Amino acid sequence: MKYSIASLVSGLIFGLGLIVSGMANPEKVLGFLDIAGLWDPSLAFVMGGAIIVGVGAFAVARRRTLSFLGFNIKIPGHTHIDKRLVFGGLLFGIGWGIAGFCPGPGLVALGAGETKAAIFAVSMVAGMAVFELIERSRAKS
């Protein structure tokens, strides 16, 4: 129960951060991705602000095996760089560039009642389902 409450609060703060930063608005994200046009560097400041806090948090987490609520700390140990990582990242970037939405802002804009964000979010979940189907058929063959 407290695990889910901490998740809810984290998700909520994350969403509020996306709204404050302007990143729930795809127009602003595309303004960052459009380097050849009039460039809006705001997204870099969002990443910078988040990473400053994040570095501190991971420094604390690395010294602990249990979280402050007593759960195991699961930091991914993968270091391999493979085709899946690169190919997946490239595909994601194309989608991000087309609409200006990545997963978090898509969900926040959906919560703001934007019909177009709902279309994006449903398509994104469908894309994730396609991935699971491909993985499953690969595992069988």
Partner 1 sequence: MIDIAWSQFTPWSALIGGILIGLAAASFLLLNGRIAGISGILGGLLTPLRGDIAWRVAFILGLIGAPAVWFLFADLPAINIEANVPSLIIAGLLVGVGTRYGSGCTSGHGVCGLSRLSVRSLVATLCFMGSGFVTVFVMRHVIGG
CB of 87 to partner 1, least distance (A): 6
Residue listed under structure tokens 């979010």: 121
Give me the phi and psi of 66, to 5 degrees please: -115, 145
Residues 91-110, interacting with partner 1 (CB under 8 A): 91-104, 106-110
Residue 63 within binding range of partner 1, rule CB under 8 A:
no
Q: How far is the CB of 141 from partner 1 (least distance, A)?
A: 18
Between 37 and 140, CB nearer to partner 1: 37
Q: How far apart are CA 77 and CA 44, in angstroms?
A: 26
Say whether residue 139 binds partner 1 (CB under 8 A): no
Q: How far is CA 137 from CA 74, 86, 126, 141, in A?
A: 29, 22, 16, 6
**In terms of CB distance, is 94 or 141 closer to partner 1?**
94
Query: Could you tell me how far CA 28 lies from the centroid of its own chain?
Result: 16
At 104, list the tokens.
């978090």
Q: By CB under 8 A, tell whether 137 contacts partner 1.
A: no
